[in-house]
Amino acid sequence: MKVSLHTPAAGWWWAAVAAMLAAFPTIAANFGQEYYIGLATRMLVFGIAATSLNLLVGYGGMVSFGHAAFFGTGAYAVAALADRGVSAPWITWPLAMALAAMLALAIGAAALRTRGLYFIMITLAFAQMVFYLVVSVKTLGGDDGLSLAARGIGESALFYTALALAVLAACGLRRLANAGFGRALQGVRENEARMEAVGFPVLRIKLAAFTIAGAVAGLSGALLATLNGRAGPGLLDWPQSGQLLVMVILGGVGQRFGGFIGAAVLLAMEEVLSPYWVHWQLVLGIVLLAVVLRAPRGLAGMLARG
Amino acid sequence: MSAALAAEQALNGLQLGLMLFLMAAGLTLVLGIMDTINLAHGSLYMTGAYLAAATYAAAGSFLVAVAAAVVGTALIGALLEMTVLRALYRRDHLSQVLATFAIILIANEAIRMTWGPQPLALPTPRALSGPVELLPGFLYPAWRLVLIAAGLGVAVLLFILVTYTRAGMRVRAGASNREMAEVMGVDVKRLFTVVFAIGAALCALAGALLGPLLAVQVGMGESILILAFVVVVIGGIGSIRGAFVGALLVGIVDTAGRALLVPALASIAIYVLMAAVLFWKPQGLFPARG
Amino acid sequence: MAEILRITGLVKRFGGVAATDGLDLDVRAGEVHAVIGPNGAGKSTLIHQVSGALVPDAGTVVFEERDVTGLSMHERVAAGIARSFQVTNVFARLAVLDNVALAVQARTRSCFSFWRPAIGDAAAFAEAMRILDRVGLVARADAAAGALSHGEQRRLEMALALATQARLLLLDEPMAGMDTAESAALLSLLRELRAHCTLLLVEHDMDAVFQLADRISVLVYGRVIATGTPDAIRANEEVRRAYLGDTLPA
């Protein structure tokens, strides 16, 4: 099965989807279903997070089980800044990104010297390290997390910002994937030893991807904290890393919109199933197992084929 | 710190280390021989603890409870290996991560559905619930000594099994080169099932023994699983000796950290240890594969 | 002829065993220099230490008067040393053209270009096609590399090495696993290659070695026991003893 290094432009359909999403808040308000604006915002935010992980896993072949570390760090950065009276998103979000990027650089520098099984376990371990560290710091709220004093941005405005950032992320992913960097990254995924042998600085390429993915995850964490009005330790815990990976595979590893599709599907499942059955995660587990064993290219993969 | 306190902490570290060894031994073999990551390893530990607690509630004997836990979990482990794990051996690591993560979700919910969200009680056997006077004036909980004895016993048993028996030889052959082992006529499929079942049994033993000390509750497997991963990374994938040394290191560093450092630093002590070992030996202390 | 590569006192130990045990070797610019020796002599280990895959415990590797002993593999490629693999190691899932284009793009340092689409880099793809033409794989440019025959994959390996524009090519058993026809084809390809760069190759196929090489070095237990022209090596007593009855071509 031949794999192309080039990510083609999506069809007109995705502009249609973006347009529909842009009209969504007005439509929802019209029907008195404002609640769903928040849900849609969550889907976009997690879509951005899952897309950043997709860059790492799908395009770079690096299975990281510690992405929650960057996601949660972004959230806590916003909450901590709000705690000190800084709540304007255009200040806190870039700072959250920068902090997440630095953390990613540090963890990546250590973890990326390993590969395969070691890499998976080490990213998990380092993420847990961040989790335990944050939980043990009293000023960050311990087990209860940290609440934001003020959101700093209205609900509709937050939705539109998230939508704009999501579009940016989707476009950015394609640009990045098709640029020299993206080709090299995919080359590393395909055959790391070969890339080294033809003269690519493989470690540097992986580290760059890891840092970029971490930064974007930090941004989405910041968005989530702003949306939820709080940052909780759950955002740093390993199940969160697992949830992001699940989104990637549900949506399609290495597929351009895999992150968004996966996030939407997973959050929709949670939304629909959890009020009816407290043990809905059993269904999720079974569906996930089925997808992994039977449809490894995920939903986007199935859509692409049929 | 007084000598008695230091001795107590040392023994606690040893006890934690040996329990981690039980978890890590099975894990490192699966990682080394089958080149498969199994996140559901912690779920086997949890299953063992729950089976022990439930059997104890029904039968009243701790011995019976441990036996039921070990045998039951070994069977569940074998079943899991034959159905799901076997399909994952030749798959990529991401698929393995996600499939075993799915098993965690299923296991956690299944346990929750069967026994509810509240922790179960698994009390220490009355005869062993008191302290033992190891040295004049130095008391140490009897149950923790049982754990240390059990851990050491299993370590010796495993060492003999792997080094001196033919089965052990096959395991070591499989750990270093699977294709060669197959060519040499080793029934790889059955070997894998047995290895996995033994790993599950060891998890169950740890779960049953630790039940009286820690809470028997949903999700208990995951926190110890991550410690087990740290042990395997430090010790080297595929090496039981590495798992032993790594487990003792982690047990001692973690216990010492909690006794001597502020909570923030204590909680990350073992990760700093892991990073330090990796810096010096990226494949762990005793990697089984070249 | 000037020396392009000078190896002095190279030592590499694995556990208690010295795979490379005080190895001295020099390669002249423009020559084809073959390294032969019995199994376990440390031939692959030598190649790995020159390419940068392994770091020696002692000794130096000097390339074009520059000490490269401590350089990483990609730094050596940039300096002009490239290797091919003993077991064919191409990008199996990628098209043959993409394989070579990647190697070309490595040289043009575009891996940290984050914005401009690489597919617009007509020059790189044109050069890739030229290289494919040189190795005779233009017809297969669009095929997945994994679908190629063994001999074609070996030629793709050569193409990748050529794309790096290395001045010293390290070939680790390039003839391995080939039938007579494929060997002959590769032999003629190697004869063409020598016009463009110096070749240092490890090889078991004695016929190919004695046909192709300008000089041969014999490796036994991690050190060079003899270096010379094929005739000189053929006549060397120590070499005959080292091979213990293995027949050298008459």
Q: By the CB < 8 Å criterion, does A157 face chain B?
A: no
On whether both C4 and C78 belong to a single domain, the answer is yes
pLDDT digits (tens, 9 = 90+) for A22-64: 888 888 887 888 788 889 999 999 999 999 999 999 999 999 9
On whether both C2 and C60 belong to a single domain, the answer is yes
Question: Which pLDDT belongs to residue B290?
Answer: 42
Which candidate from B97, B267, B279 shows the least CB-CB separation from A65? Answer: B97
Name the 3-class secondary structure at C33.
Answer: strand
Q: By the CB < 8 Å criterion, does A59 face chain B?
A: no
Assess whether pLDDT exceeds 60 at residue C246. Answer: no
On whether both C117 and C23 belong to a single domain, the answer is no
Question: Which pLDDT belongs to residue A163?
Answer: 94
Q: How far apart are CA B45 and CA B104, in angstroms?
A: 11
On whether both C72 and C196 belong to a single domain, the answer is yes
Look at C43 and A217; give whichever has higher pLDDT.
A217
Q: By the CB < 8 Å criterion, does A200 face chain C?
A: yes
* Chain A residues closer than 8 Å to C117 by CB: 175, 178-179
Q: How far apart are CA B237 and CA B283, in angstroms?
A: 8
Look at C39 and A282; give whichever has higher pLDDT.
A282
| Mean pLDDT of the region A199-216 | 96
Question: Which pLDDT belongs to residue A306?
Answer: 40
Q: How far apart are CA C80 and CA C51, in angstroms?
A: 10
**Closest to C83 measured CA to CA, from C112, C55, C53:** C53
Alpha helical stretches, state H, B35-141: 41-59, 62-80, 86-88, 93-115
Give the residue from C118, C144, C163 where a domain finishes: C163
Q: How high does pLDDT run on average in chain A?
A: 90
On whether both C245 and C171 belong to a single domain, the answer is yes
On whether both C158 and C174 belong to a single domain, the answer is no
Q: How far apart are CA A291 and CA A298, in angstroms?
A: 7
Q: By the CB < 8 Å criterion, does A269 face chain B?
A: no
**Yes or no, beta carbons of A195 and C113 under 8 Å apart:** no
Give the residue from C111, C129, C163 where a domain finishes: C163
On whether both C93 and C197 belong to a single domain, the answer is no
On whether both C22 and C83 belong to a single domain, the answer is yes
Give the residue from C147, C163, C179 where a domain finishes: C163
Strands (E), B96-192: 131-135, 138-141
**Yes or no, beta carbons of B87 and A296 under 8 Å apart:** no
In angstroms, the separation between the Cα of residue C163 and the nearest Cα of chain A is 8
Q: For the residues of C97-159, what is the DSSP string, one character each?
A: HHHHHHHHHHHTTGGG--SSBGGG-HHHHHHHHHHHHHHT-GGGTTSBGGGS-HHHHHHHHHH
* Chain A residues closer than 8 Å to C103 by CB: 198-199
Q: For the residues of B239-281, what is the DSSP string, one character each?
A: -HHHHHHHHHHHHHHHHHHHHHS-HHHHHHHHHHHHHHHHHH-
Please name the chains neighbouring B, where neighbouring means 3+ C-beta pairs under 8 angstroms.
Answer: A
**Yes or no, beta carbons of B233 and A118 under 8 Å apart:** yes
% of residues, chain A, pLDDT over 70: 96
Tens digits of pLDDT across chain B (290 residues) = 678 888 889 999 999 999 999 999 989 988 888 889 999 999 999 999 999 999 998 988 889 999 999 999 999 999 999 999 988 988 889 999 999 999 999 999 999 999 988 888 888 888 888 888 877 778 888 899 999 999 999 999 988 887 777 767 766 666 566 666 677 666 778 888 998 999 999 999 999 999 998 889 998 998 899 999 999 999 998 888 999 999 999 999 999 999 888 888 888 899 999 988 988 888 889 887 54
Tokens of C226: 């003899």
- Where in the sequence is the domain holding C230, given as residue range(s)? 1-87+167-250
∠ CA C139-C141-C142, rounded to 5°: 110
**Yes or no, beta carbons of A120 and B106 under 8 Å apart:** no
Tokens of C45: 């280990």
Running DSSP on this structure, what letter comes out for residue C15?
A: T
Question: Which pLDDT belongs to residue A208?
Answer: 97
On whether both C83 and C1 belong to a single domain, the answer is yes
On whether both C61 and C115 belong to a single domain, the answer is no
On whether both C240 and C203 belong to a single domain, the answer is yes
| CA trace torsion C63, C64, C66, C68 (10° rounding) | -20
Please name the chains neighbouring C, where neighbouring means 3+ C-beta pairs under 8 angstroms.
Answer: A
**What CATH number does residue C179 fall under?**
3.40.50.300
User: How far from chain centre, in Å, is Cα C55?
Assistant: 17
Beta strands C3-14 and B138-141: pairing type? unpaired
Assess whether pLDDT exceeds 80 at residue A301. Answer: no
Question: Which pLDDT belongs to residue C102?
Answer: 94
Number of domains into which chain C is organized: 2
On whether both C172 and C245 belong to a single domain, the answer is yes
**Yes or no, beta carbons of C74 and A5 under 8 Å apart:** no
**Yes or no, beta carbons of C74 and A193 under 8 Å apart:** no
Split at pLDDT 50, 70, 90, the class of A300 is low
For residue C47, CA distances in Å to C38, C69, C88 come to: 15, 13, 16
In angstroms, the separation between the Cα of residue A113 and the nearest Cα of chain C is 14
Which candidate from B31, B98, B105 shows the least CB-CB separation from A292? Answer: B98
